Structure 1
Amino acid sequence: MAHQVTSKDIPINGEHLEKGKIATLQMICGGIGGIGLLASIIYLVNGSGEVHGSYAFSWLFAVFFVTTIVLGGCFWTFLHNLSNSGWGTSVRRLMENLGFVFPFMAVFFIPFLFPNVQQYLYEWMTAYRDVVGDSANAKEQLLHDSDPHNHLLAAKTFYLNPVFWYARVAFYFIGLGFFIFLVRKFSIAQDTDDKPGTKNLFAARKHSSWSMIIFGVTLTFLALDFVMALDYSWFSTMFGVYVFAGSALNSMAVLILTGIFLQKMGYLKDVVTQEHYHIMGKLCFAFTVFWAYVSFSQFFLIWYANITEETRYFLLRNTENWNLLSLALVFMHFGLPFLALLRSDVKKSPKFMTIFCFYILFMHVLDVYHMVIPERGPSVGLVIDHHPQLWISGSWLGDILALVFVVSAFLFIYLRNLTSAALYPHRDPRILESANLHN
């Protein structure tokens, strides 16, 4: 930036994204996402057969991918308020708008609440319902069942039982959804406050303290309930942290892309500079390393312990062609981004960061695919004809369709959030500090 930004450069009413400028994009995303969402929910709730079971996994893959990103938006919002940092004031509203997509994600999870979808995804639910007539004696009935795997499930009935599972899902969306709404509400209220000061800032910081706890619980156990539970015999104490690393990294990538997109449209010119992209790039670099550290640690601990219930996860993902994806994640999710982000000048370049952010988001698609889809062949095959298989022919088409539908719906909601309030908190006392950032 060529000049020092002063209060005269900040519009009295802030900058607002004109709906007309994104009307076409929003209409396309809304059309594809709305039709795809409605059709998918109807099909998943009423369908049956191998294609239906395969698409259930496709839907979980796509929904979980987007959910990790919007959860990352919640994380950055709460962290910014808790740390009282000044640098991110210019981009805080972007964080809030991204995080505020999370309450709407509840609609995408509706199919997972129905037994005819659960039977393909969660073998433990089928086992529980088949064996258990009286929930009070669930553990005893599972222990006396002929299937030895159910003996392991018996030890987990305190957690893996349908009633508690439904209660947890409700808690995730009601609890965290309420707090991200509340914190964003305080932020927006400051924009129209007749006496703007620190009242709303302090309120947002106060509520962000326990919101961060709710966030940690939600992200960790949502990952356990919807992804780790695909194989109830497997467990990893690091899985929640692993998902968090990808969530924080890729949500920051979305925030960078949003900032660049808005600046190309003529917004945020005076308040977001290459210094902001530099810091956000450094955060991407940090979480790239953190993701690699957690990934290696999880693999190493499971390999070293060599416990059958733990090693199955990696045995499946190192069988035939899945091994290629596992190796690709090592070099392409970590190695290439690590080397690319070492230089400070590239982190300050919007052009480079645009390429990098799309690349890292694609890597996250592969990462989530690697978490979810290898379980599809064995699980669906077991339900359909009791013959587990590694891959279901043609299932990749459903994966692509589900991803397009969910991402389109996400973009529609995100764009709606961006137009619902000022693009940055123009009455925040720290806005000039952020606009004149140097690091």
Structure 2
Amino acid sequence: MSEHSMPLQDLPCLSPRGSVLSQARRTCKRRSRGCLGEGLEMECTPTELIQQWSPLHKHQRLASKGKENDGGQFVLARRSRRKREAASSDVSWDHLPDELLLRVLFYVPLKDLLRMSTVCQRWRRIALDESLWHSVDLEGLTHTGPALQQVLKTGVRMLRCPRSFVEELHFTGTGPLQIVVMDLSSSIIPTASLESIMCHCRQLEYLSLEGLQLSDNIVSSLSKNPNLLQLNLSGCSGFSAAALGDMLASCSSVEQLNIAWCDFSNDHVKSVVGCVSARLTHLNLSGYREGLTLDDVKILVTRCPHIQTLDLSDSTLLMADCFPVLKPLADLLHLSLSRCYHIHLAALTDLDTTFPGLSLLDAFGIVSGSHLSSLKKEMPRVAINSRPFSGVARPTPASGPLAHFMWGRKCRLRVQQ
């Protein structure tokens, strides 16, 4: 034993913790033998040794909770579960599931939805989900090309884009589009751009391309839509009679067809009457002056006996002898013979007898003034010259509360709310 060391004495106050005291004694002896001899040259008690060398007790660590860095001493401490749960109870957009975010974004306007798609990748994925882009109205958009390109990629099913200017657009999608209802009436769109869209359409049921420049490729693409019910090609041009006939023969479900005032020859007219669907109920074949003959009308009546609305206006070759030909149309409700100048006024007075179900008669240019009044008296149950514009297969009226609808359907997302 070193000459400076002194024997240890038992302390009564530490007797319950004998194990700790013994450990302190052994530690003190080892240090006194040379390991820490220089630091223990002075006499020290076991209590002092315990406080100096023993590890911190558990109650000392608990006392530092909530004061981790007070006094400049860095302390690691775990936050209690209760505090963690309280901190995480606040609602955050990042914690909401995709299904709930989709429900919220369902009520967001189109422009705001596009802005939200630029926030982050997750919001872009949710904001461009096809369930939000089911129906889109782009009417009134200045530069429609980029927006139309983006909308086509979202899986839109109803697309309304009439009277729009579409720049060069080449849709490069690999799969077929999901469009069922589409209105591009009176738009300015390059034929090549329209081809890139139509060649991806397979599910069309309602389509209006009124006033557009078409091509044989576009018309051939229409033949790949067997569920087509209403087709409006009024005022179109740029396609052959053969392509038109093949398309009408393939689209055997067409019920309404508006093919008036197209750039047609006699061959085009014969393709229409010879290939149109037998299920046809509404047909607008006006504007062909000398291109439509009585023989064409005979073929049409034989092929389509269930016609309810028939517009043969501006067919200058038709005369009163066409009425016996039309008589087999037992379901005829609306007949338009405007500007058929070779049909005499006297021949019109018997139409209510020839067609018992007739309720609408258009005879603009044939009957006017006092003659119109007398004709209305002779046929009181027939409304004469009450509809100046044809509504066959047209998506929307020119004006009124339904001007922003398509075939009675309203688009959810609109550029101008």
Smaller-chain TM-score bracket: under 0.3
Structure having the larger proportion of residues in helix: 1
TM-score normalised according to structure 2 size: 0.20
**TM-score computed with the length of structure 1 as normaliser:** 0.19
